[in-house]
Amino acid sequence: MSRPELVAPPEIYYGDSEAKKYTSNSRNQQIQSQMTHRALELLNLPPDQPAFLLDIGCGSGLSGEILDEEGYEWVGVDIAPSMLEVALEREVEGDLFLQDIGQGFGFRPGVFDGAISISVIQWLLNAESSHPTSSPPHRLTRFFTTLHSALRSPSRAVLQFYPSSDDQIELITSIAQKAGFGGGVVVDYPNSKKARKVFLCLFVGGGGGAQSRELPKGLDGEGIEESEAAARFEKRRERERKRDKSGKRKAVKGGKDWILKKKELYRQRGKEDVPRDSKFTGRKRRITF
């Protein structure tokens, strides 16, 4: 099977049908969950502190759900309108932007505490035009330069991707370094054909001591068995028992606080016909016969 990025541009490849199929696939959900948890581990955020994260290539919000469960605020960007439509249908918590990352970001400097990306930046290596501004080096330069600007100092960005050769890894890392990033590549399960995963772990700024700038080590062995991975990463914690990073109990899904938060989110996004708040909001109705 051809790699998706070799078939068509992402905004075309992930049309309405493919976007829904990808999101509903339990195997995709499992892999996305596993890699998002690993990316957060490599991001090495301070424990029990709030953080504002950027999800690059957020798609339908599978990684965003993990960020939400971990108590982080997040913004997602993606080039595929159909993927973002599915994310809106799933009522993800993050704010969503339709964005070609190869053209760079327009966020104000230092706004994010970190960034993650799952299976995205390999798409930048495939040019759809012979124009110089559409070449992979130009698009990668715009991407890394504007990402570096959007991150506070010190902070990290962890970008998981699927390179097809060592030359691609060298090109990506060299352009990231020219944009001002430190860090390098972390490879999990390097001796396994199926479990091998490549993460670009980038550092912004020099604060926090030498230990905080030390490149993490990749995981060894042959990888986690599928059943174990499912038990470890797919299992969702009960929202009623979850607390966010500030220690406050999270709103129970379907409860009054949860409904009010959703309404406010819809109003901020400009959605029309949002029901007004009242004392009856979230109140369970009596069943009459």
Q: What is the pLDDT of residue 227?
A: 40
Same domain membership, residue 119 and residue 47: yes
Q: Which two tokens stand for residue 9?
A: 């541009």
% the chain with pLDDT above 70: 80
Same domain membership, residue 150 and residue 62: yes
Same domain membership, residue 266 and residue 160: no
Over the chain, what is the mean pLDDT?
A: 85
% the chain with pLDDT above 90: 65
In this predicted model, which residue has the larger pLDDT, 1 or 14? 14
Q: What is the pLDDT of residue 274?
A: 79
pLDDT (average), residues 44-69: 95
pLDDT (average), residues 99-107: 96
103-116 burial code (b ≥16 CB/10 A, e <16): ebbebeeeebbbbb
Same domain membership, residue 271 and residue 238: no
Q: What is the pLDDT of residue 22?
A: 95
Q: For the segment 166-223, what is each residue's pLDDT rounded down to a tens digit?
A: 999 999 999 999 999 999 999 999 999 889 999 999 999 975 444 456 899 999 876 5
Q: How far is CA 58 from CA 77, 82, 122, 231, in A?
A: 6, 12, 15, 24
Same domain membership, residue 278 and residue 233: no
Band the pLDDT of 110: cuts 50, 70, 90: very high
For residue 154, the SS3 value is strand
Same domain membership, residue 262 and residue 226: no
How far apart CA 212 and CA 215 sit, in angstroms, is: 8
In this predicted model, which residue has the larger pLDDT, 271 or 166? 166
pLDDT (average), residues 135-145: 96
Q: What is the pLDDT of residue 73?
A: 97
Same domain membership, residue 260 and residue 239: no
Band the pLDDT of 92: cuts 50, 70, 90: very high
Same domain membership, residue 269 and residue 233: no
Q: What is the pLDDT of residue 232?
A: 45
Same domain membership, residue 195 and residue 128: yes
Same domain membership, residue 174 and residue 267: no
Domain encompassing residue 235 = 4-248
How many structural domains is the chain composed of? 2
Band the pLDDT of 81: cuts 50, 70, 90: very high
